[in-house]
């Protein structure tokens, strides 16, 4: 099983949803990065369950322990190890799934691959593993802030059929609905909130799209052939639970344009090169061009719904999978810091790789 992501700046995660907890080892973080514990915890709080009635009601504080790799919160260049304990585990909720395969879950595929699986909360396939990604992303953000001008931010662009059509100027979440949904437009956020809540009451689920931008990315990050910046960003995003689609720049919408309209025209201002449009999403030929890196990540509806569904068990017998337990009717709002974290780790890794390629 592959549990490591990254080349120079890399993470290795461990733990299960209903085990002792979730941990992550960050290897390759350079010495001299000041760790801000309050910031790292605030990132975990954004992903934390039980924040509102439209999320799973599993109550976890998600407080972290920092076990190694620092002196007075200054990184030493040795592996950083973090651990978050599981405290609100109710494994009995999954007893009926010991041999049954839930529709659209990883139950069958894990069984087919390994011959054994942890049915309690999905084990390693649970989204609780993303705690490791948020911690890794928080450290990567600190690295980026202290060594470059790169800032990464994401927001909920759509929930089901409700869309935010414009890119927000600020990520300020000014209302309770905006904070719950992670959409910076108060009116759109309220509509999204009520749709998720109505879906929850019906025992169903919905998906949506998260948009993410990285500002201050210098030109030159990425490789022209097999380690393209957008390819690694795509790999990072598609490794997140429930993600089924990824786009950079114009994405699939670019297929509806002609080259004369889609080409990003260069110009210079105060000696700096820019493009008048950004349909490339800040990446051309696999390499960043200095413009804003812009991407979108599509999440499917949560597979676990509060409705009975027909399925089969490990013996191939027909069974009814009962809709029970604590689950998100929509995973998208809690996934915003996960998307940011994965993007930040990719950019931190590519920044370090680029600096290793040039002496000056």
- Give residue 55's pLDDT band: very low, low, confident or very high (50, 70, 90): confident
Q: In 16-55, which ranges are E strands?
A: 21-27
**For residues 240 and 233, what is the distance between their CA atoms, to the nearest angstrom?**
11
Q: Which residues pair with 313 in a beta bridge?
A: 100
φ/ψ of 194, rounded to 5, equals -65, -35
So what's the pLDDT on residue 288?
98
Q: Model-level pTM? A: 0.94
CATH hierarchy code of domain 4-357: 3.60.150.10
So what's the pLDDT on residue 359?
62
From the list 251, 217, 257, the residue with the least C-alpha distance to 234 is 251
Higher model confidence: residue 108 or residue 293? Answer: 293
**If you average pLDDT over residues 310-327, what whole number do you get?**
84
Encoded tokens for 2:
């592959």
320-339 pLDDT per residue, tens: 888 776 778 999 999 999 99
So what's the pLDDT on residue 94?
60
**For residues 186 and 180, what is the distance between their CA atoms, to the nearest angstrom?**
11
CA 103 and chain centroid, separation? 23
**For residues 212 and 245, what is the distance between their CA atoms, to the nearest angstrom?**
14
- Give residue 124's pLDDT band: very low, low, confident or very high (50, 70, 90): confident
Q: Are 129 and 333 in contact (CB under 8 A)?
A: no
Higher model confidence: residue 348 or residue 305? Answer: 348
Q: Are 160 and 206 in contact (CB under 8 A)?
A: yes
Place of tokens 């999204």: 192
So what's the pLDDT on residue 327?
78
φ/ψ of 187, rounded to 5, equals -70, -45
Q: Quote the longest CA-to-CA distance of the chain.
A: 70
**If you average pLDDT over residues 170-185, what whole number do you get?**
94
The answer to whether residue 93 scores a pLDDT higher than 60 is no
**If you average pLDDT over residues 30-39, what whole number do you get?**
98
248-283 pLDDT per residue, tens: 999 999 999 999 999 999 999 999 999 999 999 999
Encoded tokens for 209:
């799209």
CA 262 and chain centroid, separation? 29
**3-state SS record for 159-193:** ECCEECCCCCCCCCCCCHHHHHHCCCCHHHHHHHH
Instruction: Tell me which DSSP letter residue 202 carries.
Output: T
Residues written for the chain: 360
């Amino acid at each position: 099983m592959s549990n490591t992501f990254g080349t120079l700046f890399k993470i290795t995660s461990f733990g299960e949803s209903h085990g002792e907890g979730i941990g992550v080892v960050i290897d390759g973080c350079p010495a001299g990065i000041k760790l801000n514990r309050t910031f790292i915890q605030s990132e975990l709080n954004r992903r934390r369950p039980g924040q509102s009635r439209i999320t799973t009601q599993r109550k976890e504080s998600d407080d972290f322990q920092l076990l190694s790799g620092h002196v007075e919160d200054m990184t030493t260049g040795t592996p950083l190890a973090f651990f978050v304990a599981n405290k609100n585990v109710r494994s009995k909720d999954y007893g009926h799934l010991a041999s049954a395969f839930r529709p659209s879950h990883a139950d069958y595929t894990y069984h087919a691959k390994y011959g054994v699986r942890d049915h309690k909360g999905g084990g390693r396939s649970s989204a609780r593993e993303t705690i490791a990604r948020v911690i890794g992303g928080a450290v990567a953000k600190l690295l980026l802030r202290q060594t470059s001008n790169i800032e990464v931010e994401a927001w909920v662009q759509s929930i089901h059929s409700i869309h935010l059509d414009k890119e927000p100027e600020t990520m300020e979440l000014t209302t309770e609905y905006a904070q719950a949904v992670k959409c910076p437009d108060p009116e759109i956020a309220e509509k999204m909130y009520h749709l998720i809540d109505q879906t929850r009451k019906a025992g169903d689920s919905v998906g949506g799209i998260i948009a993410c931008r990285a500002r201050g990315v210098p030109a030159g990050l990425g490789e022209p052939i097999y380690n393209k910046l957008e390819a690694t960003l795509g790999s990072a995003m598609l490794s997140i639970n429930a993600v089924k689609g990824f786009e950079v720049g114009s994405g699939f919408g670019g297929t509806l344009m002609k080259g004369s309209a889609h080409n990003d025209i260069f110009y210079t201002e105060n000696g700096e090169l820019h493009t008048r449009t950004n349909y490339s999403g800040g990446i051309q030929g696999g390499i960043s061009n200095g413009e804003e890196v812009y991407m979108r990540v599509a999440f499917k509806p949560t597979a676990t719904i509060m409705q009975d569904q027909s399925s089969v068990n490990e013996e191939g017998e027909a069974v009814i999978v009962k809709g029970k337990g604590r689950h998100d009717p929509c995973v998208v709002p809690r996934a915003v810091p996960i998307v940011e974290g994965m993007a930040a780790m990719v950019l931190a890794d590519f920044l370090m790789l680029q600096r290793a390629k040039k002496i000056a």
